[in-house]
Structure 1
Amino acid sequence: MSAVLETRGLTRHFGAIVAVDDVSFQLHRGELLALIGPNGAGKSTCFNMLMGQLKPTEGQVLLDGEEITGLLPRQVWRKGVGRTFQITATYASMTVVENVQMALLSHHGEILRFLPFATRQYREEALALLDLVSMADQADRHCAVLAYGDLKRMELAIALAHDPKVLLMDEPTAGMAPKERVGLMKLTADIVRSKGVSVLFTEHDMDVVFAHSHRIMVLNRGALIAEGTAEEIRTNTTVQEVYLGGGTVFADEGGAAHA
């Protein structure tokens, strides 16, 4: 199975603190790969290096064999890497379909050229994406009145508007009710199967992780300590000890905490 995303010795220092320590892994095509660990393990720092928000101190990031280490976030996005965040960010004054249309305009490089006529562009394509995430029936509702779970599904449609090769999902079910969590991750798994998108996600709900991941990686104090199937991770004594013992929060020179 070929790797669409790969890291080699990915490392990030904040002063004397090693937040991510020599992390190497491969994300395969059409795979749903979970990255888990205690708070402060280095998950978000790792994500930020993959997406270009942070530059690695050492190591490489490769997409389809091409090095993308140190590229700006918009350059990484153009290469085919999408991302969803713990807290949704949408245009509350716009409708659901208009939000997705804006993402499609950006994907096609027409965000400025057609801005006065945005609501006329790519509506059918936007509706198809909303149908994929079971939101087509709410297309003309304003985002300001949506339930949080619906906002998360809309955010997924927005991320898919760029037709990404890789989708990074940072705690996609954060703030959701248990039933909504299960529904969103089942939806994500269905999209992985139907569209062949490769997904790397972080998550604290172990029921979600064990139910839907093809593989699981465990990060602690910046280093990978385990990798395997759900059953292998569930029975790994080192992983059990890490979760029972909690995690470490790293701080940079300015005193800001980093996961």
Structure 2
Amino acid sequence: MTPVLSVEGLSKRFGGVTAVDDVSFSVNAGELLAMIGPNGAGKSTCFNLVGGQLKPDRGRVRLFDHDLVGLPPRRIWRLGVGRTFQITAVFQSMTVVENVQMALISGRRRIGALWPKASHLYVDEALELLSRVGMLDQADRACSVLAYGDLKRLELAVALANAPKLLLMDEPTAGMAPAERIELMRLTSSIVRERGISVLFTEHDMDVVFAHASRIIVLNRGRLVAAGVPAAVRADPSVQEIYLGSAGAPVPSGSPA
């Protein structure tokens, strides 16, 4: 079976610093792949190389048979790659439903229809997405007054507006309370499995990672050092060394990634 996402020999340097060093991995259909590692491991750089925010020095990134290297994020999005960010990225001056409408308008290339009747476009579709993420009752609220957890759920609805084949989630539970983290990832897992979406996500909360990831890849100093199902990664001596400084001890839940 052809992977949804294939990353081969990905490398990126910033001056004398090698942030990502010959990293290869794949994401299969319907899989939730977690990318973890200590601070400075290269996770964010690798993530941004996949999403088009950065261009690699070497390597290939493919979505099915589409080469993504060199494409701007908007082109990658239109090929079927959704994205959420560590810091929520929504239009604060718009209402909740208007944010989702904007994503639907862009995804369907109706930007020319923004004036004067954009408010009438894709209302039903936007409300359906909001219902799926538990935000229907807040559809007409301004984003500027939403609680942080609600902004995260809205961002998920926006990311789903283009019916993505692959969803990139950069620390989806960052800044959330423990109960909110559990609820958001339970919701996300339910939606992506229901729709057959593949997910690549970075995350600091190990409870979230081990509860929801199908597989885990571990980066350290820009290199891929471990990969496998959660139980195997937890027991890997190299992973224990990275997180605790001594092999043989279990990776604790809640460790920083």
* Band of TM-score, shorter chain: over 0.9
- 1:195: which partner in 2? 195
Matches within 5 A, 1:20-39: 20-39=20-39
Which deviates more, 16-25 or 203-212? 16-25
Q: Separation in 2 of the partners of 1:22 and 1:175? A: 31
Q: Post-superposition shift, 1:102?
A: 0.8
Q: Separation in 2 of the partners of 1:143 and 1:99? A: 9
- 2:206: which partner in 1? 206
SS of aligned partner of 1:50: helix
Q: Separation in 2 of the partners of 1:66 and 1:97? A: 32
Q: Separation in 1 of the partners of 2:197 and 2:163? A: 9
Q: Separation in 1 of the partners of 2:146 and 2:14? A: 39
Q: Post-superposition shift, 1:33?
A: 0.6
Deviations 1:193-243 (Å, cap 9, x if unpaired)?
110111000000000000000001000000110011111111111101111
- 1:64: which partner in 2? 64
- 2:12: which partner in 1? 12
Q: Post-superposition shift, 1:69?
A: 1.3
Letter of the structure 2 residue corresponding to residue 38 of structure 1: P
Q: Separation in 1 of the partners of 2:229 and 2:118? A: 45
Q: Separation in 1 of the partners of 2:194 and 2:170? A: 21
- 1:184: which partner in 2? 184
- 1:140: which partner in 2? 140
Unaligned runs of 5+ in 1: 246-259
Q: Separation in 2 of the partners of 1:91 and 1:61? A: 30
Which structure has more relative contact order (CA 8 Å, sep 6+)? It is 1
Q: Separation in 2 of the partners of 1:114 and 1:192? A: 30
Letter of the structure 2 residue corresponding to residue 19 of structure 1: A
SS of aligned partner of 1:39: coil
- 1:223: which partner in 2? 223
> 4+ runs of 1 displaced by more than 4 Å?
none
Matches within 5 A, 1:223-242: 223-242=223-242
Which deviates more, 208-217 or 133-142? 133-142
Q: Separation in 1 of the partners of 2:114 and 2:26? A: 39
Letter of the structure 2 residue corresponding to residue 234 of structure 1: R
Unaligned runs of 5+ in 2: 246-257
TM-score (norm 2): 0.93
How many residue pairs are counted as aligned between the two chains?
A: 247
Kindly indicate whether residue 53 of structure 2 is the aligned counterpart of residue 53 of structure 1. yes
SS of aligned partner of 1:225: strand
SS of aligned partner of 2:204: coil
- 2:73: which partner in 1? 73
SS of aligned partner of 1:24: strand
Q: Separation in 2 of the partners of 1:9 and 1:220? A: 16
Q: Post-superposition shift, 1:79?
A: 1.2
Matches within 5 A, 1:59-208: 59-208=59-208
Letter of the structure 2 residue corresponding to residue 51 of structure 1: G
RMSD, aligned CA: 1.5
Distance 1:91 1:66, change over 3 A: closer
Q: Separation in 2 of the partners of 1:145 and 1:74? A: 28
Q: Separation in 1 of the partners of 2:115 and 2:80? A: 23
Q: Separation in 2 of the partners of 1:115 and 1:162? A: 21
Q: Separation in 1 of the partners of 2:114 and 2:74? A: 20
Q: Post-superposition shift, 1:131?
A: 1.1
Q: Post-superposition shift, 1:65?
A: 2.5
Distance 1:115 1:173, change over 3 A: farther
Which deviates more, 145-154 or 1-10? 1-10
Deviations 1:64-90 (Å, cap 9, x if unpaired)?
022221211111111111111011121
SS of aligned partner of 1:240: helix
Q: Separation in 2 of the partners of 1:208 and 1:115? A: 42
SS of aligned partner of 1:61: strand
Q: Separation in 1 of the partners of 2:68 and 2:102? A: 26
